[in-house]
Structure 1
Amino acid sequence: MTQNGQKTDLRNNWSLEEIKAIYYKPVLELIVEAATVHKQYQATGEVQVCTLLSVKTGGCPEDCSYCPQAARYHTGVDVHKLLSKDQVLTSAQRAKEGGSTRFCMGAAWREIRDNRDFDQVLEMVKGVNELGLEVCCTLGMLNEYQAQRLKEAGLYAYNHNLDTSEEHYDKIITTRTYNDRLDTLEHVREAGISVCSGGIIGLGETDEDRIGMLHTLSTLPQHPESVPVNALVPVKGTPLAEQPRVSVWEMVRMIATARILMPQAMVRLSAGREQMSVTEQALCFLAGANSIFTGEKLLTTPNPDFDTDKAMFELLGLQPRQSFKEVAAETC
């Protein structure tokens, strides 16, 4: 870290050994360092509020071991076809009124197909964009042409998580490869869309796997603008249903390390927040988290609602981040 109040350098050449040295620091020392970096690059006390809606639920052909939407698992998730544009815009308007500035639409697809459903999603993107919200999608794998069509429709961000390390990946998913994930991120970046990519902890991985995933993200040619850190929410019927709950200290360690490695990124405290107390969430904000999902569900798993989060923001003195802040800064 640089001295005399100067900013920590932005880097894309982190070594595994350097990341290990950060990750394994005593946790209080790690939090202090992350908080210092966070203050250098971000407006402290400001948190981006996002809402995630499942626009097409269940029936996915993939075998992601954590996912209740995989068709091969019996999880009790009802399959729903693609929502209408009007249904989505109603939800987006409600999210905006609840304080969200980013609205993300998720579809349980392995990849985007060039068909009527994709055309419908493009219309949804246009509509949500017109509401003044940052619009994000997570639709599975995509190619260069599809990324460009989404960009032209007004898509602001695309989420495609790495989930875990390359070494642990085939123990969690076998229906696509790690390189498939990286290729999608490259197509998103080339189209000029903001990249949202992080992972899930609690999948039976080791600390070395967590470090490996952070290494992959932090050594991309350009850091993701958004890095979600999810704690597994075990779902009955999935292969990972019996996994133990991730502790707050594991979340703090991941968030703090991500903050130090990728100072300009929005580090999102994502899935698993429903099981966390306000005190535990406050520790994550102190460690550098500055984005959350709000609303009753994250696709199909429980999540704190708008009123609960509003009360937490008031208690902790947090302010919602405005929409399109990066764009506004670039045009000043």
Structure 2
Amino acid sequence: MTTQTAINYRELAEQVLSGYELTRAEALRIVEAPDDDLLDLLHAAFQIRKSFFGKKVKLNMIINAKSGLCPEDCGYCSQSIISDAPVEKYALLSKESILAGAQEAIHRKAGTYCIVMSGRRPSERELDHVVEAVKEIRETTQLKICACLGFLSEQHAQKLSDSGVHRYNHNLNTSKENYSNICTTHEYDDRVDTVQKAKESGMSPCSGVIIGMGESDRELVELAISLRALDADSIPVNFLNAIDGTPLEGAQHLDPRKCLKAVAMMRFVNPSKEIRLSGGREINLRALQPLGLYAANSIFVGDYLTTQGQEPTSDWQMIEDLGFEIEECAL
């Protein structure tokens, strides 16, 4: 029986910074690293992060512009048709409410404002409504706009891009192999198609994962490699928040150390990309949240779609205590 040679994470980081692409086997060893290696691993991940982003942290804010009423059956989502979670349900917010959200994003020191709608895909009326709001936000602020409206046609993607939407989010969420265990009303490849359409329209592609939905470590690595192949500019790393009333209700919280290894792996595999600590970080990383920013360079500030986040002041303080700085927000 042979014993694997210990990984020198710092040397591996130097190779990555020289253009080396991590193999699946190397990425898997990072996810499965011993807990005793965690600080050394994060230090190496920080060398990559620092090379591309310094000590700056990007802040993003979400507005849930349309809540509930979704015909999809995604097992993690409190807004899906099969969810019994007691979430607020409402049609698309008024333009005034969306504009007010942009001002709140600036107040929270966010540089990116994320307009999110539940549902399979936007109707023509809904898309035009969002486009008009985006145009006004772009005329009056320096905010970057990210939209997350569901599946897109080529025409809808181009219309959003032409209106001034900088980025389009459509997460892969879980591996292709695991996808049918999480959702049956659409397929993994449908999500890949929308990410590609967003990119082809000129919008920056944003796509990420939800860790903790029954995927294996190998499948998590495959997701990281798939996002590298898609050339996603921004990768939200969510950690399952098993909401009561959803099929995944009762799933155990993740080990915070394993979560940090997964984030570090994402940084090694996608060295130059925005890695964002996203939904579920508060309840899964818990007291280790600050360590996540040694690999990630971005967070959501404030609440998520149907769950609460930390107070913005707590996030600001966390960033300051690390000796990091908030990336300059829009004025």
Q: TM-score when scaled to structure 1?
A: 0.89
Counterparts of 2:215 and 2:167, CA distance in 1? 28
Q: CA deviation at 1:314?
A: 2.6
Alignment of 1:215-230 (within 5 A): 215-220=225-230, 223-230=231-238
**Residue of structure 2 in register with 1:304 after alignment:** 310
Query: Which letter does structure 2 place at the counterpart of 1:39?
Result: K
Alignment of 1:56-135 (within 5 A): 56-113=66-123, 115-130=124-139, 131-135=141-145
| Worse overlay, 312-321 or 171-180 | 312-321
- State the aligned residue count: 317
Cα distance 1:149–1:4, how it changes in 2: closer, same or farther (>3 A)? closer
Q: CA deviation at 1:224?
A: 1.2
Cα distance 1:213–1:132, how it changes in 2: closer, same or farther (>3 A)? same
Structure 1 unaligned segments of length 5 or more: list them. Answer: 325-332
Cα distance 1:78–1:208, how it changes in 2: closer, same or farther (>3 A)? same
Moved over 6 A (4+): 1-7
**Residue of structure 2 in register with 1:143 after alignment:** 153
Cα distance 1:278–1:129, how it changes in 2: closer, same or farther (>3 A)? farther
SS in 1 for 2:17: coil
Query: Which letter does structure 2 place at the counterpart of 1:128?
Result: I
**Residue of structure 1 in register with 2:51 after alignment:** 40
**Residue of structure 2 in register with 1:30 after alignment:** 41
Identical columns (%)? 35
Matched, 1:243 2:251: yes
Q: Is the 8 A contact 1:134 1:323 kept in 2?
A: no
Q: CA deviation at 1:273?
A: 2.6
Matched, 1:258 2:266: yes
Query: Which letter does structure 2 place at the counterpart of 1:275?
Result: I
Cα distance 1:277–1:177, how it changes in 2: closer, same or farther (>3 A)? closer
Counterparts of 1:255 and 1:10, CA distance in 2? 20
Counterparts of 1:28 and 1:39, CA distance in 2? 16
Alignment of 1:276-291 (within 5 A): 279-286=287-294, 288-291=295-298
Q: TM-score when scaled to structure 2?
A: 0.90
Q: Deviations over 1:136-166 (max 9, x none)?
A: 0111110211111001000011111000111
Counterparts of 1:283 and 1:64, CA distance in 2? 30
Q: Is the 8 A contact 2:13 2:268 kept in 1?
A: no
Query: Which letter does structure 1 place at the counterpart of 2:262?
Result: M
| Worse overlay, 119-128 or 79-88 | 119-128
Matched, 1:234 2:242: yes
